[in-house]
């Protein structure tokens, strides 16, 4: 059973949500990821619909290199259900990037490798875009700290 994607249409959440702030903090501590942005009320790039960043449940997180991106990507996919990952984009994966969405399945089953620019979420950026479901940040932290693999 797949999970329903919760952010279509997106709305203005007015602030960075607590789960997003906690994930940014902990991903930064574990992998040195840099927060490149969470809440901002704006449309998606090249589209009229509101960005999930407007909800406060999305974060763009910079990484050191592609080997580190692979490690983080694999971790977040492995625990996609437990961590409530709704969507994840890796813009430098292959030629056009790759994206995970919970409504396609858990883990690697939910990944789509983009074949062209039109279906791509964007290319080239040295960051991962992460969207999390609304959840208790302390429960998320407990699971994250217990699973260091």
Contact 57, 86 (CB under 8 A): yes
Distance CA 142, CA 149 (A): 14
Q: pLDDT tens digits, residue range 96-126?
A: 999 999 999 999 999 999 999 888 888 889 9
Q: How far apart are CA 35 and CA 62, in angstroms?
A: 6
Peptide bond into 14 cis (omega under 30): no
How long, in residues, is the chain?
149
pLDDT digits (tens, 9 = 90+) for 137-146: 999 999 999 9
Give this prediction's pTM: 0.95
Whole-angstrom Cα distance, residue 144 to residue 14? 26
pLDDT value for 124: 85
Residues 6 or more apart whose Cβ sits within 8 Å of residue 111 = 77, 98, 99, 100, 104
Q: Mapping DSSP to helix (H, G, I), strand (E, B) and coil, where does residue 42 land?
A: coil
pLDDT, one tens digit per residue, over 72-85 is 999 999 999 999 99
* CA gap 15, 2 in Å, rounded: 28
Strands 111-113 and 98-101: antiparallel
Q: How many CB atoms lie within 10 A of CB 113?
A: 14
Which residues, other chains included, contact 118 with Cβ-Cβ below 8 Å and sequence gap of 6+?
none
Structure tokens of 139?
């429960």
């Amino acid at each position: 059973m797949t999970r329903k994607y919760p952010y279509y249409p997106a709305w203005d959440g007015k602030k960075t949500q607590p789960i997003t702030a906690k994930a940014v903090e902990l991903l930064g501590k574990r992998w040195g990821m840099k927060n490149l942005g969470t809440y901002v009320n704006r449309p998606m790039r090249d589209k009229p619909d509101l960005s999930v960043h407007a909800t406060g449940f999305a974060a763009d997180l910079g990484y050191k290199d592609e080997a580190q991106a692979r490690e983080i990507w694999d971790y977040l996919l492995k625990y996609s259900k437990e961590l409530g990952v709704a969507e994840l984009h890796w813009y430098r994966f292959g030629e056009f990037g790759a994206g995970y969405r919970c409504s396609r399945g858990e883990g690697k089953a939910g990944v789509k490798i983009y074949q062209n620019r039109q279906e791509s979420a964007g290319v080239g950026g040295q960051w991962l875009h992460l969207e999390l479901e609304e959840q208790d940040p302390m429960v998320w932290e407990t699971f994250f700290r217990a699973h260091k693999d």
